[in-house]
Amino acid sequence: MGRPGQNPISECPLLLAEWHHEKNGDPHKYSVGSNKLVWWHCSLGHEFQAKPNTRSAPLAKQGRITECSVCRSTRQAEWTWEHILTTATQIKNQRGTLPPVPWFQKNGYSTMVNAIYNIGKTWLDVRQEIDSHETSSLNAISRIGIRWRSKAEACLSDFLYARDVEHSIGRRYPPSYAKVSGKKSGMYDMHFRKPNSNEWVDVEIWGGHPGGEGTVEYQRVRQAKTDFHKGNRNFFGVEHSDCYSESRLEFLLKPYIGELPVVKQGHELDHTVPTIRWSTYQEVLDFCRQVAALQKDGIFPSEKWLRKQAPYENRMGDAYPSLMDKIYQHFESIANLRKILGQQDHNRRNWSDDIVKQELDAWMKRYGRTPGVIATAFKNGDTNISQSEVRRGNLIATMAQKYCGGVTKALRSIGYDVKPERQKSSALSMLHLAASKIDNIAKNINDVTTSRDIRLNVKKIYLYANQLERKVDELNQAAERSEKNALQTA
């Protein structure tokens, strides 16, 4: 026997139970790993289309198949943002703290986790909503183990920790402060010790205060504290927003601590993530893994996909703008994130005419057919080349168009004997565009029947166009012949 994917569907009880005998016929004829689109019906009677491979492969290790697409979207639609927050709050109250994402997945809440991403929110958003007071925020615990009153304080703490600068939580202002400010007392945010010195620096992080009525009072306190520290070399006042920038902190702290190397890398990724993000990157990375796992090919998607920009403006689900911001903050780019996830092969290269030709040459040596031919074969289920590889082929073809005037031209220039591509008439291009737009609408609401009908009808119109072209050719040839005849007789 071959690999499990080559077994016929009739030997897989899970798939067989949902096999649509009337629409597909004999389950002997299809393998478990087939990429042909076939029909299924679930135990609730939903009829839906899916490839056997996409139903069998993702959960094979757990001995399960992916669920009916209609059931899944119905269940996900039930997870509104309010419902998610109520459920998460209940669980937090039962357990004392909000458990991490894997706990929810293992305990029957995986549709809730998926729904969070699908409505464009992230796990951090859930956490922030639940711990809306920064004082109780779990994100404000820094590497040194102190729970700070704000995230900005935690970021500054990690910056100092990474450079081995001793620091502590803020103490009360001295009594002399009361005389200057007219306030009973005040609290510092932090203190740190200058390297190789016994001098301690007092820290105030400005901003990040509640707006509205509190603003005037806040300004008064800030002014009082600034006045109090006039001429004090061992006072460090820093804007809240500067604590989220590694380079700003380096610059602003230089007069106090100089330029110190990062010495406390204790975790695997510490050297690739800004030190101010050391306490939050693991969580962001965890849900980036989640987003990648939700993709058909398991590869973390592009920024355009996350932001739902062309060509993904019609894809299912909502945009993830806040996740994109967090990726920039923690990992600087999607390319870096993919490196961390071990998916660097899928990063965009610096394309040029030469690189396109190299890639095409390697592609042809490997597959013997152009990316376009492979893509068509993939759509028809006639190849076992993976989807991510088909996508890479599409990318090479797009770049060939951009840098070399098309795949055919590029291949000819490096010695391949390929037939010229048939020019699509502009009317057919427009038809194609319109059809794919309508098809996207149908796909968005899971209307597989309409989606299939659109494709079939577009094919029909292509056939009509071909027939008409042939007729036009014949008429032209006939006209030429009669012209010649007329000349000869004349």
Binding residues for Zn ion, per CB under 5 A?
A: 42, 44, 46, 68, 70-71
Q: How far is the CB of 114 from Zn ion (least distance, A)?
A: 16
Q: Least Å distance between CB 59 and Zn ion?
A: 16
97, 135 contact by CB (below 8 A): no
What is the full DSSP assignment across 8-26? BGGG-HHHHHHB-HHHH--
306 burial type by CB count under 10 A (0-12 exposed, 13-18 middle, 19+ buried): buried
d(CA 300, CA 222): 44
Q: Tell me how far, at minimum, the Cβ of 262 lies from Zn ion, in Å.
A: 52
Q: What's the closest the beta carbon of residue 39 comes to Zn ion, in angstroms?
A: 13
User: Whose Cβ is closer to Zn ion: residue 73's or residue 136's?
Assistant: 73
Q: Which is nearer to Zn ion, 12 or 68 (CB)?
A: 68
Query: Shortest approach of Zn ion to residue 448 CB, angstroms?
Result: 13
Nearest to 163 by CA among 295, 83, 259: 259
Nearer to Zn ion, 42 or 428 (CB): 42
**Cβ neighbours for 107, distance < 8 A, ≥ 6 positions apart:** none
CA-based diameter of the chain, in Å? 122
* Residue nearest to Zn ion as judged by C-beta position: 68
DSSP 212-240: TTHHHHHHHHHHHHHHHTTT-TTEEEEEG
Indicate the residue among 70 and 299 with the shorter CB distance to Zn ion.
70
Shortest Cβ 20–Zn ion spacing (Å): 12
Nearer to Zn ion, 73 or 295 (CB): 73
Instruction: Provide, rounded to whole angstroms, the least separation between the CB of residue 53 and Zn ion.
Output: 19
Query: Dihedral (C-alpha) 290, 296, 299, 300: value to the nearest 10 degrees?
Result: -50
- In this structure, are residues 85 and 129 in contact, taking their beta carbons and an 8 Å threshold? yes
- The C-alpha angle 262, 239, 254, rounded to 5 degrees, equals 40
| Nearest-approach distance from CB 42 to Zn ion, in angstroms | 3
Strands across the sheet containing 190-193? 167-169, 190-193, 200-206, 235-239
Min CB(43)–Zn ion separation in Å: 7
How buried is 301 (Cβ within 10 angstroms: 0-12 exposed, 13-18 middle, 19+ buried)? middle
Phi/psi-derived region of residue 17, left when phi > 0, alpha when psi is between -120 and 50, beta in every other case: alpha
Indicate the residue among 45 and 175 with the shorter CB distance to Zn ion: 45
Q: Report the residue number, 44 or 263, with the smaller CB distance to Zn ion.
A: 44
Closer CB to Zn ion, residue 54 or residue 314?
54
Q: In terms of CB distance, is 47 or 353 closer to Zn ion?
A: 47
